[in-house]
Amino acid sequence: MDPYKYRPSSAFNSPYFTANSGAPVFNNNNSLTVGSRGPILLEDYHLIEKLAQFDRERIPERVVHARGASAKGFFEVTHDISHLTCADFLRAPGVQTPVIVRFSTVIHERGSPETLRDPRGFAVKFYTREGNFDLVGNNFPVFFIRDGIKFPDMVHALKPNPKSHIQENWRIVDFFSHHPESLHMFTFLFDDVGVPLDYRHMDGSGVNTYTLINKAGKAHYVKFHWRPTCGVKCLLEDEAVNVGGNNHSHATKDLYDSIAAGSYPEWKLFIQTIDPDHEDKFDFDPLDVTKTWPEDILPLQPVGRLVLNKNVDNFFAENEQLAFCPAIIVPGIYYSDDKLLQTRVFSYADTQRHRLGPNYLMLPANAPKCAHHNNHHDGFMNFMHRDEEVNYFPSRYDPVRHAEKYPIPPVVLTGRREKVCIPKENNFKQPGERYRSFDPDRQERFIRRWVDALSDPRVTHEIRSIWISYWSQADKSLGQKLAMRLNVKPNM
């Protein structure tokens, strides 16, 4: 028998109950006792195993993105971008790659309602012939902060109060009052799109700036964008209360039911690119995740389509154990100096090693579907069957060799070691432009949400004044309307 071939799988279920060891269990209803009433004997191994397994069947939930739902499908290239990248899965129109996608809310717990105002995660794992590519993103194209060193503090501020375990606006507006770079993100979060109708009716974005590299070694900065073919739809406050009151898992159910009914969710993938030689031509830093790239200057280029046509077989195995990391890339795609991306490259893999163990990439949902070879050995929950004698490199007894060299960005790095903010902050221009793009009713809803947030009794006059000043710098009329309703004079 080849142990590697016969991995544990419910497809090979025994017709009778067994212990984990495979031993038959002749009575799964009654504990082993002294007499008919007890006491229970410790030697009832099946009882002990059953209880111990049950006690451990929950793993730590994600700190962020705990509440999520997954589905499987394929990505198909529809437009040739081989002049921009040598990535194999993007090599030509018609090429299809299997994928698994996880949607999520960000801040709230695993059992929280899916109707809460919160960013949504939109993470895609491509199982390519050259290994996996994890495109980890959100439904908004920007983020609250531009430097990952602030991420733990940001999450703490957005999470419930550690004393009361209640999410409170005063903590949120206090923290972000120190970070005006967050204004652009709030024009999305406090906009109607802050509560999507469901996962099928929302945009997706890679958020971070990556680098595409072609065979000749030419690099371009790139941003990835998903657009749903069924359009973007949202829930307003009263609708969210009604939907969430009827079913706190409405988005998970909608995704599952739609696929089961053959109404497959689909998104178009677009990219924007910038030649790194031209990055200084803008009044913002293109690697700043609090900024969007203007589509009138840098138009969306179509690449392909994503179709989800299969529900997961097991929610735990393919949603809770599904793990993403922006560091997982393929030849032809590389990182950029985007400060947030640089920290995520470390942090995502680190959190999965904590949550799932050092061998989390062996789990079927996370493992590559192509052949792979390395000398990473042992550790908790290592279930790879290995019979080779050589577990070091190089060796004259093992023919394994280096892969063929592929291009990575050739830029020469220079600069002083320093902890500083980027030179081009420009925190107010894009938030103002986005607010002015709203129709009057949408502007009114946005204002009302901010008035509600800043009316928290624990929000001080100083913090209200700071926010009104920020929004006044983004749009003078917006600042005036907030000041009037909150009875606060703008402090420009």
Sign, Cα dihedral of 421, 422, 426, 427: negative
Residue range 477-491, pLDDT digits in tens: 999 999 999 998 755
Residue range 304-343, pLDDT digits in tens: 999 999 999 999 999 999 999 999 999 999 999 999 999 9
Residue range 233-285, pLDDT digits in tens: 999 999 999 999 999 999 999 999 999 999 999 999 999 999 999 999 999 99
More confident residue, 22 or 165: 165
Read off the tokens for 178: 């120190």
Three-state DSSP class for 286?
coil
More confident residue, 439 or 21: 439
Read off the tokens for 200: 């099928």
CA contacts within 13 A on the Cβ side of 394: 5
Predicted pLDDT at 490 = 58
Q: How far apart, in whole angstroms, are the C-alpha atoms of residue 153 and residue 402?
A: 41
Predicted pLDDT at 1 = 45
Alpha-carbon dihedral angle through residues 100, 105, 109, 113, given to the nearest 10 degrees:
-110
Residue with tokens 């803008």: 282
Tell me which residue of 169, 167, 190, 158 sits closest to 449, measured CA to CA.
Answer: 190
Name residues whose C-beta falls within 8 Å of residue 215's C-beta, 6 or more positions apart in sequence: 86, 407
Q: How far apart, in whole angstroms, are the C-alpha atoms of residue 251 and residue 381?
A: 33
User: Lowest-confidence range among 137-151, 194-208, 402-416?
Assistant: 402-416
Q: How far apart, in whole angstroms, are the C-alpha atoms of residue 202 and residue 221?
A: 24
Tell me which residue of 316, 305, 252, 350 sits closest to 99, measured CA to CA.
Answer: 305
Predicted pLDDT at 3 = 47
424, 290 Cβ separation under 8 angstroms: no
The answer on whether 348 is annotated among ligand-binding residues is yes
Residue range 186-229, pLDDT digits in tens: 999 999 999 999 999 999 999 999 999 999 999 999 999 999 99
pLDDT band, very low/low/confident/very high, at 393 (cuts 50, 70, 90) = confident
Strand partners, 120: 105
Residue with tokens 């998970």: 252
Please say if the pLDDT value at position 5 is more than 60: no
pLDDT band, very low/low/confident/very high, at 411 (cuts 50, 70, 90) = confident
163, 453 Cβ separation under 8 angstroms: no
Please say if the pLDDT value at position 401 is more than 90: no
Output b/e per residue, 345-364; b: 16+ Cβ within 10 A: bebbbebbbebbbebbbbbe
Please say if the pLDDT value at position 181 is more than 80: yes
More confident residue, 407 or 305: 305
Summary count for the chain: helices (H), strands (E): 12, 10
Catalytic residues: 65, 138
pLDDT band, very low/low/confident/very high, at 173 (cuts 50, 70, 90) = very high
Output b/e per residue, 21-39; b: 16+ Cβ within 10 A: eeeeeeeeeeeeeeeeeee
DSSP one-letter code for 359 = T
Residue range 36-83, pLDDT digits in tens: 988 988 899 888 888 888 888 888 999 999 999 999 999 999 999 999
Three-state DSSP class for 174?
helix
Share of the chain above pLDDT 70, in %: 97
Predicted pLDDT at 51 = 86
Predicted pLDDT at 53 = 86
Whole-prediction pTM value? 0.93
In this prediction, residues 412-434 reach a mean pLDDT of 92
Alpha-carbon dihedral angle through residues 319, 322, 325, 326, given to the nearest 10 degrees:
-50
Three-state DSSP class for 391?
coil
Predicted pLDDT at 11 = 64
Kindly report whether the peptide bond that precedes residue 228 is cis, defined as omega within 30 degrees of 0: no
Predicted pLDDT at 171 = 98
